[in-house]
Structure formats: structure tokens, C-alpha cells
Structure 1
């Protein structure tokens, strides 16, 4: 099943590779940087914990899960035009009901430039309109299918460490954090707070901790020095991926990524 949302850094290209690590005997699927939840939706596990620090994203996923009919009605009432896009974008999400807040997020995600999520220093979404040829925001049948798939998941907002440390023996942990490195500048603004080198080190320490407790983990990340060093302790492989975050064909390129795991 395809994800409902467009999301920068999505691992849709790597799904065939990532799916090979999943075993039906795992008790629970856990993803602390869930984004569009593309791997979760592809696997459809019997139990899951999806988490993200982006509160707007989490509210949208929760409403898709719990309130799909109302959410569909809210989106139906939002005209597709550049003028209305900027009107919706200017609305403060914290003044809206959960359903309208989720509808706003899905509407902006569908029509913004390149599916990018970016905020200014005040935490306001500021991505320009980018879908002049798009005629629909929503495939209602698809939204209801995603809602059905999400019924098996607990969906929460928060720092990745709280979800990672909730894992136990028998869980499968998939970790796909925003890219950061001391080597080069990379896009990290998936939430207002960003993701830095100290966060990456904190994550790698947490993975070491839960692996010692019997948690199966898979980490997918850019092939950078910080993760290459971590990979030496575990099994790893390099794969090629097409990075589209620049949004312009001439700026898109194939890069090397690392998949690091303790799975058999």
C-alpha cells in the first residue's frame, strides 16, 4: 500500500530491500521517525508504534486512523487554488479542531512544492504553492484503506528516544532519521527543532542499548562518517538511492546509503 502523504526522505525506493528484514514472528513494528510510514503501510504488521516529533504530522495520522469520514468531509470543502492554498497556509493550526488541523496538513502536503515540510523560526509552515496542475487533493478510497491499515498502530508525538527505549525483545525497530553530518550540509528541517549531530549520536547509543536487550533494528541512513563507524559493529550494506529533495531535475542525484542491522 502506498503512503497517503508525500514526505522528504521517504524510503519508497528502498522498500524491496527493507522488507527483507521483516519476519512475521516479530511482536511489534516500531518506527520513531515515521514520516509517511511507507514501510509500515507496505508491511501491514499486526501491531505497531509510530512516532514522530512533528506534531502536525502526528495529528494528521491520528485523524486518518480515528476520524476518516469527518476528515474526508473537511478536505472536500477546501477549494484547490493557489489563492486558497495561501489562505489555508496562513491559518494557525492550533486554532483548529483536530479534524480541521489534519485536513489543513493533508491539503498543504498535497499542494505544496515537492511535498516539502519546512517551517520558519516561528514554527510556521512556509513552503510555497507548487502543484498548479493538480486537480485533486485526496483519493478517498485510498485514505480509508490507510485508515484501516493504521488501526493496528499506536501513534504518538515525541522525541525519538522515548519510542526507541519503549522497545523490548521481539520488537522490530526501523529507524530512518533526518540526515545530518559534520561532513557536508544536509536538509534537516522536518520539524521546527531540526536534527543535529548530537541527536544522531544519542540515537546510535540508544540503538546499542536496545540491541543488547534483544530488539531487532534496521537503520537506513546516508553513507557518512558517523554512521560508517557505527556500522562496523553490525551487519551493513550500501545501496543506491535517488535523492529528490532539491525538487529540480538537474539537482537530483543518486547517492550511497547505508543499511545497518542486527537482524539475521
Structure 2
């Protein structure tokens, strides 16, 4: 029997929050322990925070998740509504891949699936299975698109990847079906359409991180770049929902001023909000010496106290 304790991200994802969950949990709003609320995650990515929140808080009334990557959001939908079909297709891909005994044959199989993924008009179920297969067999589990919107990450040379983890798929499906989960695809701003004036809302924003250097950019995992203009647009969105008495939010991003003390980009656009740092390990870098511990920013419109007080920053 599959139970929700196994629920966790079903794909590898750059910037995943699994290692930061204990630090983030300590600075969540105190209201979440006592009041029913709607959880909103406009950049859901791999879902580490989503599955943590669903298991941590039984008083979540509704969930709104969104991502600009349609292949990702369609896969969430398939896991929620059709886990049996997805498991069946992934088991077939797993069997075919692992029957190949040499690296060149596995690479050819990977490239064939990647070509079909990019070129063919596939069913949502087939596309989701291919998406998960490519994620587990490509280099570092990256997702990246070229300017034409084609997935272009190279082969990862893995001999025995976990292509089908049915325990995780069924646990994630079970958890998403226990709650009223709405899965959206598009710009983060559309999540505002689900906000009303009666309920408590908690937003967690984990957007594509602003690069710490010109050679460290992993913030364009779809063809539409999330550049500084989009970062400012997100800051404006956060200020807008802060004007509502029932919206609390927390946001993660890179700590640019730790790399360059003169780079106060986030300190400026989120001036007036609570800004603190957490420690994270990052492993996605072509240069091994540049991997390891670094700080990230966590920005909030509240401070943890006996009763959370929303910071009303100037708009």
C-alpha cells in the first residue's frame, strides 16, 4: 500500500528546496498552525515545498500550483489523474533502456526519445512519460529549451537511473487527491485570479534565480527568459498582494550581494520587507570548485511573532 509519507519530487529540478525545508519551516507564518488556508505556489518546479506543505499541514483548504513549463504541469496532472498509465509507460521505458548494454546504445535510445519528445504530436500521457524519462537520463537532470522551445540537454551517461519510482508516483498522486489541488500553466500572475477576500492565503515564490555571474545562468529553463524585468514584475506583484490583509508570502532567490557587495538588486526591489539568509548547497556548476555552500535570500511580508504582523511596505 502506498502512503503519503513517501511523497516527494518525482523529477530532479535545479534549485529544488529539499535541503532547505527545515530552515524554511522555522520561518513560516504562525497562522498556518491554527487557521485553515489556501496554499499558492506560482513557480512549483519539482514540488519539494508543495509535498512538504501537504504533509505538514492538514488544515490546507485548497492548493494552487503553477509553472510556465507546460511539460512539467501536464506531468503533475498525469500523476494526479492517471498514475497507473504513467507507471506502465515508465516501466516499459525503464526496461528498454536498461536492456541496452553499452553507453553508445543507451545514448542512441535517449536521443531517439528526445527527438520524439521534440518533434511528435504526443498524447499527454506519452509526453509526460518521455518528460520523466529524459529528466532521469539527461545530464544532471536539467531542463533547458533552446530559442525554438526544443528540449536540448545532452545525454547523462547513467547506467542504472531510477526511471520509474512507482512508490513516489503513487504517493504524490494520493497526496494531491486528498486536497483540492488546481494545476495551472502560464505566468505566475494568473494565480491572483484565485485569491478572494475571505480566506487566508500563503504564497511561496521560488522563481528562476537571478544568476550570480554571467556564466552561472540556469534561469531560462523555457525559451522565455526570466530576466531582471521579470524579477521586478514579481516584486511588484508581491507588493500588490501585501496590500491585502489576508495574503502572506515568502520568496526565495539568489544572494547577489554576497557575491558582489555592490549588487543590491534584491535589497532595493524588496526594500521594506523582511530579508534574511539561509545556507544551501548547490551542485549544478560545470566547474567543480564553484560548487558547495552558499547563502540564499528568503524574503517575507511578515515577521514570525506571537501573532504574525504583515509588513505594509510602501508601494
CA offsets, 1:85-138, max 9 Å, x none?
111100145611111010010111111111100111211101111142324301
Structure 2 residue aligned with 1:193, among 224, 229, 234? 224
1:221 aligns with 2:253: yes
> 1:18, 1:247 → 2: CA distance?
28
Structure 1 residue aligned with 2:234, among 199, 203, 208? 203
Q: Superposition pairs for residues 90-109 of structure 1, below 5 Å? A: 90-92=115-117, 95-109=121-135
Contact 1:6 1:110 in 2 (8 A): yes
SS at match of 1:143: helix
Structure 2 residue aligned with 1:157, among 166, 180, 185? 185
Contact 1:174 1:218 in 2 (8 A): yes
Evaluate the alpha carbon distance shift between residue 247 and residue 260 of structure 1 in structure 2; reply closer, same or farther with a 3 A threshold. same
Contact 1:167 1:210 in 2 (8 A): no
1:172 aligns with 2:202: yes
Evaluate the alpha carbon distance shift between residue 154 and residue 247 of structure 1 in structure 2; reply closer, same or farther with a 3 A threshold. farther
> 2:267, 2:280 → 1: CA distance?
17
CA offsets, 1:189-242, max 9 Å, x none?
221212011101010001001011021000111123221224431122111211
> 2:238, 2:91 → 1: CA distance?
42
> 1:66, 1:15 → 2: CA distance?
27
Deviates more, 1:223-232 or 1:58-67: 223-232
* C-alpha RMSD of matched pairs (Å): 1.9
Residue 305 of structure 2 corresponds to none
**TM-score, structure 1 normalization:** 0.93
Once the two structures are TM-superposed, the CA of residue 247 in structure 1 deviates from its matched residue by 5.4
Please identify runs of 4+ aligned residues in structure 1 that moved more than 6 A.
none
Contact 1:32 1:164 in 2 (8 A): no
Structure 1 residue aligned with 2:8, among 2, 5, 10? 2
Once the two structures are TM-superposed, the CA of residue 167 in structure 1 deviates from its matched residue by 3.1
1:32 aligns with 2:32: no
Structure 2: segments with no counterpart, 5+ residues: 1-6, 98-105, 257-263, 303-307, 309-315
Deviates more, 1:143-152 or 1:160-169: 160-169
Structure 1: segments with no counterpart, 5+ residues: none
Evaluate the alpha carbon distance shift between residue 219 and residue 87 of structure 1 in structure 2; reply closer, same or farther with a 3 A threshold. same
CA offsets, 1:51-97, max 9 Å, x none?
00001111111101111001111111212232211111001456111
> 1:244, 1:12 → 2: CA distance?
13
Residue 172 of structure 2 corresponds to 146
Contact 2:138 2:153 in 1 (8 A): yes
Quick check: which has more Rg, 1 or 2?
A: 2
1:251 aligns with 2:290: yes
Residue 271 of structure 2 corresponds to 232
Contact 1:82 1:132 in 2 (8 A): no
Evaluate the alpha carbon distance shift between residue 146 and residue 247 of structure 1 in structure 2; reply closer, same or farther with a 3 A threshold. farther
**TM-score, structure 2 normalization:** 0.78
SS at match of 2:194: coil
Once the two structures are TM-superposed, the CA of residue 178 in structure 1 deviates from its matched residue by 0.6
